[in-house]
Amino acid sequence: MKKHYQILIIGGGTGGIMTAAQLLKKNKKLEIGLIEPADTHYYQPAWTLVGAGTYDYKKTARPMASVMPKSVDWIKDYATKLRPEENKVGTEKSGDISYDYLVVATGLVNDTSLIEGLSEAIDKGVVCSNYTDPEHTWEVLQNFKGGNAVFTQPATPIKCGGAPQKIAYLAADYFRKKGILKDTNVIFATPGTVIFGVQKIKETLLKVIDRYGIHFRPFYAPFKIDAEKQIIYFKYTALEDKRRPIAEGNKIKEEMNDKNVISIPFDMLHLAPPETAPKFIQESALVNKEGWLDVDHGSMQHVKYTNVFGLGDVAALPTAKTGAAIRKQAPIVVDNIMKLLKNQEANNKSYNGYSSCPLITGYGKMVLAEFDYQNNFTPDPKLKQMLIFDSSKEHWRLWILKKYMLPYLYWNKMMKGKKV
């Protein structure tokens, strides 16, 4: 195995594979090493559908070898230490590997220890998460007979920030079809201040919430779960608002103490676990004070080490962490590395924060939230041309896009470095 590469990539997820494939499209003679320990590559955007019983989990998985570009050296190992001042990455079994250019695309990791009781509770009984075991979510939905169905998310950044509310809408629709929605309190509790930051999308989602009778609770930051008693505890974060958030006729039996702690009993609980950058990234010289890879927001070049780039979920970019964001980031990273290889300046700073969140609002219905750093609604021109309608409103064609077209484009175009 080589100990030095022209370009070294950490991570065999969407960002790492796309970047490697696109670099080789530019120059097939590039010496690229890719560090990735996993045998399987997952198409995680479909896990929401798996959790609602409308997609086969097995179809979200493919062998890592099948997506790894042929002329890339696959280093099947764990990266353990970053030493950017020496242009080296330490690994678990393969020793130090040096590079001319480094691309960090590790994604993020679940850290269940950040919510008390979550490590013991997750994926057992009536506590579920599409982020960890979507098949268990589907079992919980099928076994649910009524009562409080609580959906929530942590105060940390998470991948696909819309996913915790997508499953709430699908669950409400599933309960409606089963005839038990009238016996159910669907609760969506979030540390956020609004249901969605893009105004046009927010307007649509408030109608969806109203349609299902969902109890929407902003400023609710979960910090503790008592799985045995089936109670979840939140810190109420809108401290400047002196009004108590608990209304009269308290159907969902929530309680608030004098320390701004709210408790809600649950008969099922779905949540996204807290997520962070991997430990070896957090402990490196490459992160900002929040522990994310400190890159320029337009070029994805590291702010201090000019031969280091980062993209995807690990990057400190103030936009949603999605595969759609990576689709726009990867070509800019590739362009900048190709410029540096020709002794030119890495001056492509064109990333505007584009991200996209396919918000499923029920079986056969979806809204497509596309936005930039300023939360402007920014429909992709190609998609807009293809769809010929306002994608900020619910439509069955968007469901077809989510369930059939996007997985096809992912495996057959994005993973092969082709333009999408």
In this structure, the answer to whether residues 161 and 183 fall within a common structural domain is yes
What is the model's pLDDT at position 111? 97
Residue 227 lies in a domain: yes
Q: How many helices (H) and strands (E) does the chain have?
A: 12, 22
Residue 416 lies in a domain: no
What is the model's pLDDT at position 244? 65
In this structure, the answer to whether residues 333 and 264 fall within a common structural domain is no
In this structure, the answer to whether residues 137 and 94 fall within a common structural domain is no
Residue 376 lies in a domain: no
Picking from 249, 274, 299, the residue at the C-terminal end of a domain is 274
Residue 287 lies in a domain: yes
Tens digit of each residue's pLDDT (9 = 90 or more) over 332-345: 999 999 999 999 99
Tens digit of each residue's pLDDT (9 = 90 or more) over 6-65: 999 999 999 999 999 999 999 999 999 999 999 999 999 999 999 999 999 999 999 999
What is the model's pLDDT at position 19? 98
Q: Which domain CATH number covers 169?
A: 3.50.50.60
What is the model's pLDDT at position 242? 56
Q: Which domain holds residue 184?
A: 112-274
Residue ranges in the chain whose pLDDT is less than 70: 240-244, 247-248, 384, 387-388
Identity at 420, one-letter amino acid code: V
In this structure, the answer to whether residues 146 and 269 fall within a common structural domain is yes
Using a 10 angstrom Cβ sphere, with 0-12 exposed, 13-18 middle and 19 or more buried, the burial of residue 268 is buried
In this structure, the answer to whether residues 94 and 182 fall within a common structural domain is no
Picking from 303, 320, 351, the residue at the C-terminal end of a domain is 351
Which of 281, 326, 330, 357 is labelled catalytic? 357
In angstroms, rounded to a whole number, what is the distance separating the alpha carbons of residues 91 and 109? Answer: 18
Check residue 46 and give left, alpha or beta (phi > 0: left; psi -120 to 50: alpha). Answer: alpha
Helical segments of 157-218, H only: 163-178, 199-212
In this structure, the answer to whether residues 100 and 116 fall within a common structural domain is no
In this structure, the answer to whether residues 346 and 245 fall within a common structural domain is no
3-state secondary structure of 65: helix
What kind and span of H or E run contains 384? helix 381-387
What is the model's pLDDT at position 247? 66
Three-class SS string for 341-354?
HCCCCCCCCCCCCC
In this structure, the answer to whether residues 263 and 330 fall within a common structural domain is no
Three-class SS string for 87-140?
CEEEECCCCEEEEEEEEECCCCEECHHHCECHHHHCCECCEECCCCCHHHHHHH
What is the model's pLDDT at position 243? 61
What is the model's pLDDT at position 383? 72
In angstroms, rounded to a whole number, what is the distance separating the alpha carbons of residues 354 and 268? Answer: 34
Residue 335 lies in a domain: yes
The distance from CA 109 to its chain's CA centroid, rounded to whole angstroms, is 11
Q: Is 128 a catalytic residue?
A: no
Q: Is 160 a catalytic residue?
A: yes
In angstroms, rounded to a whole number, what is the distance separating the alpha carbons of residues 197 and 375? Answer: 6
Residue 410 lies in a domain: no
Query: What does each C-alpha distance from 355 to 301, 318, 369, 405 come to in angstroms?
Result: 19, 10, 8, 18
In this structure, the answer to whether residues 174 and 116 fall within a common structural domain is yes
Instruction: Find, among 335, 301, 328, 305, the residue nearest to 315 by Cα.
Output: 301
In this structure, the answer to whether residues 286 and 269 fall within a common structural domain is no
In this structure, the answer to whether residues 340 and 266 fall within a common structural domain is no
Residue 396 lies in a domain: no
Residue 399 lies in a domain: no
Which of 17, 122, 160, 308 is labelled catalytic? 160
Picking from 351, 386, 407, the residue at the C-terminal end of a domain is 351
Query: What does each C-alpha distance from 331 to 11, 141, 324 come to in angstroms?
Result: 17, 40, 12
Domain count along the chain: 2
The distance from CA 199 to its chain's CA centroid, rounded to whole angstroms, is 21
What is the model's pLDDT at position 245? 73
In angstroms, rounded to a whole number, what is the distance separating the alpha carbons of residues 385 and 380? Answer: 9
In this structure, the answer to whether residues 260 and 146 fall within a common structural domain is yes
